[in-house]
Structure 1
């Protein structure tokens, strides 16, 4: 298997994982009931932070860092493996939205750990929903593009 084939395979695997990961949240958003999922997510995060104590701070920062790395890899793979101009333009726009999203989460985490915000303030749910809709749709389009083009 050549290097370009491996990169295409990796993009397909990443797109598939993203698609599956966001499917349930996408469904909840589409039917107009994302709050149920978001409440459970927030409750689980709070319970996890209580059980992990002070370690949760470094682990959340690590999670944010890994999110940045994974998204960078994903977008770079899209730019190097996809040749459809419309999908490239969508990807450029989406990468910008995700940069704003991750910066917003980072700023909110910083405020939370400084004691200037509540746990519920870490997430801007409107932005989370936009990101989820974009990721689900984009990963689906990438998989379709890889399979058919």
Structure 2
């Protein structure tokens, strides 16, 4: 080993001062950003900037720190740190979706889906709990 070091020791590339050594040893994976602004890595979904939808990005991460922030690079440049999708908070986000309209020849035959999906009568939870105690019918 000493002879080998004497022959090629000057060819060894050392890190520059100020280089983050942890950053040099991160794993990399390529992923395509989905329409919902997410990428999946090891079964976990991460949020990505909307401008990257449809693009292939490189995810740089430490596999021993799963579920933490990961670095997102696009075209070789750092873009952002992606965070895990908060599924609980995500279910309350209002979305701008175009309303689906039914084009009917006769406007009276058009169906109002919002109205149709509502229950016909309000749900009475006290009757349900009484039914569980009694004969089982509401």
TM range (shorter): under 0.3
Whose radius of gyration is greater, 1 or 2?
A: 2
Larger relative strand fraction: 2
**Structure 1-normalised TM-score?**
0.20
